[in-house]
Amino acid sequence: MIKKLLKYIIAIAVVSTAIIMLFSRKAPVEKFSSRDYAEIVESGVLKAVTEYNAISFFVEKGKVCGFDYEMLEIFAKEKGLKLEMTPEMSFEKRLKGISEGRYDMIALGTATTSQLKDSLLFTRPLSLSKQILIQRKDNDNHIKGTLDLAGKTIYIVKNSPAMMRINNLMNEIADSIYVKEISEYSTEQLLAMVSAGDIDYAVCDETTAKAYIRNYDNLDIETNISFNQFYSWGINKNSPILLDSINKWLDRFIQTKEYKVLYEKYFNRKK
């Protein structure tokens, strides 16, 4: 009787252990690694990350549109590649995805700051833009110039290139500017928050702000925070040949009528 009970207990223990091991087994972690042009061609897929916005990447009437998407799609087709474009609203997560090798490049106009050059290779410039202040027209503490920012709290997207400019601005005005970085919000959401009165001030690039300003009649985007800066695509630091391939293609494509039509479509739209 004791032997039977002992066998029963052992059997239960074995089954229990097997069940615990089965359900506690972690799903395999997907591994990524940086790829250069030859590996991308071999795979047949170019992986890019962007932001879902009215300039770069969006869906309209069931069709994927956007300046950066359409540009990179033309490049990919010419090279016999399939474009895999992933929208990611967090600037921080886009950078992380590039460093991990999850993506080959950031297909989004990104300010070519010295800080970001430590993390990315930049293509030739695709556009010019600048950092601007977003505020309500009826704000009692309306900002007319950068000196008025002393002591104010402004919101930016986390890890935005605007952070470096704000730090420099504090040195210029010899006073504090309080910055709150938002992790999951995009520029459009920052505009909406200022418009609704949830926050008073935000900073973003002028090109993106102009794409949305028609939706927010109470917003003022006339105060400049920086001078004009070059905006480019960002390439994985370990992909110099991909950078060279894209730059050579851009040098040629930017001279075409097809490019000029595309640029007018997204950057010179009438309000």
Residue 146 has pLDDT above 60, yes or no: yes
> 139, exposed or middle or buried, with CB in 10 Å at 0-12, 13-18, 19+?
middle
pTM of the model: 0.77
β-strands 178-182, 82-87 pairing? unpaired
Q: How confident is the model at residue 5 (pLDDT cuts 50, 70, 90)?
A: very low
| Domain 37-128+230-267: CATH superfamily, name plus number | Periplasmic binding protein-like II (3.40.190.10)
User: In this predicted structure, what is the pLDDT of residue 45?
Assistant: 97
What distance in Å separates the CA atoms of residue 90 and residue 258, rounded to the nearest whole number?
A: 31
Mean pLDDT of 179-205: 89
User: In this predicted structure, what is the pLDDT of residue 129?
Assistant: 87
CATH classification number, 131-227, choose in 3.90.226.10, 3.40.190.10, 3.30.110.60, 3.40.50.150: 3.40.190.10
Q: What are the residue boundaries of the structural domains of the chain, listed by start?
A: 37-128+230-267, 131-227
Q: Report percent pLDDT > 70 for the chain.
A: 88
List pLDDT tens digits, range 28-86.
556 778 999 999 999 999 999 999 888 899 999 899 999 999 999 999 999 999 999 99
Domains 37-128+230-267 and 131-227 share a fold: yes
Positive or negative torsion for Cα 140, 142, 148, 153? positive
User: What does each C-alpha distance from 155 to 99, 152, 158, 198, 204 come to in angstroms?
Assistant: 26, 10, 9, 11, 9
User: In this predicted structure, what is the pLDDT of residue 115?
Assistant: 80
User: In this predicted structure, what is the pLDDT of residue 24?
Assistant: 54
| Token representation of residue 28 | 């395999």
Mean pLDDT of 119-146: 92
User: In this predicted structure, what is the pLDDT of residue 18?
Assistant: 53
Residue 271 has pLDDT above 70, yes or no: no
Mean pLDDT of 170-183: 90
Mean pLDDT of 92-110: 93
User: In this predicted structure, what is the pLDDT of residue 148?
Assistant: 92
